[in-house]
Amino acid sequence: MPSVLIETNQISKTYRQSLLGKSHVILSDCSIQIDEGESVGLMGPSGSGKTTLGKILAGIERSDKGGVCFQGVDIHSGNQKLWCKYRRSVQMLFQDPQGTFHPFRTIGQSIKVVADLLGYLSSDYENCITSLCDKVGIHPEVLSRYPDQISGGQAQRLALARILLSRPKVIILDEPTSGLDISVQAQILHLLREFQKRDKIAYLLISHDPTVVGFLSHRQYVIKNGVVTEITLNIHR
């Protein structure tokens, strides 16, 4: 049986709208599980807390209550080695991929910054990025362009290539096909499925589109009024 990669335990998150304003509960006692190599869908209306939960799982935000366990260990246990491993193993592909690239750097320069942080040697990086461009269907010459010179589909492929530099175990997909043409959506979804089959990457797919979730997910959670519920899917993949 596949092992549990990420498990949350009654996560809650509240935002205060202002110093004197009312508190807004985003998440309330949310518990989900992501196993090795599986796709988990997370659906819900706008403002329901889907992206907030994704950011908590990615280590970008922290919950007010409850914990996140990675391979059975709380990521906020104070173990710095575990935390570094977690941040490298769990990545997030954002809804606006172009916005994640520095506007005044070429795409290649932005990706190289990440490679340097990950400790790639120059020779290793050149071979790796060429291979990744081929895998995501991008010609390496696109790396010399700026974010406003590429399409949304190209940006999503390049953002995925940058993520794959860290060899993640889990990718959190925040509306990965939002705003893309139907044909490009299909290409991205097939690409994600291909990577999962080959590299056993697990996904948390955040989406409001049941067709997208049905195509990629093995299990599905629905979030409403800050509460997460698992539902049964009849999917034959």
Kindly state the percentage of the chain with pLDDT values over 70. 95
Give the model's pLDDT for residue 228.
Answer: 94
Per the CB < 8 A criterion, the answer to whether 137 and 157 are in contact is yes
Q: What is the mean pLDDT of the chain?
A: 91
34 vs 181: which has the higher pLDDT: 34
Whether the full predicted model's pTM is greater than 0.95, yes or no, is no
Give the model's pLDDT for residue 233.
Answer: 58
Instruction: Give phi and psi for 118, each to the nearest 5.
Output: -80, -5
pLDDT in tens, 109-145: 999 999 999 999 988 999 999 999 999 999 999 999 9
Q: CA–CA separation, 140 vs 131, rounded Å?
A: 9
Alpha helices in the chain (DSSP H): 50-57, 80-89, 107-117, 122-136, 152-164, 182-199, 210-216
In sequence order, the 6+-apart residues with CB closer than 8 A to the CB of 216 are 39, 41, 189, 192, 193, 203, 205
Give the model's pLDDT for residue 20.
Answer: 66
Per the CB < 8 A criterion, the answer to whether 123 and 155 are in contact is no
Give the model's pLDDT for residue 179.
Answer: 80
pLDDT in tens, 16-71: 876 666 788 899 999 999 999 999 999 998 888 999 999 999 999 999 999 999 99
Give the model's pLDDT for residue 77.
Answer: 87
Q: Which CATH class is domain 4-100+172-231?
A: alpha beta
Q: CA–CA separation, 206 vs 55, rounded Å?
A: 11
Query: Which of 3, 28, 5, 6 is closest to 15 using CA atoms?
Result: 28
1 vs 209: which has the higher pLDDT: 209
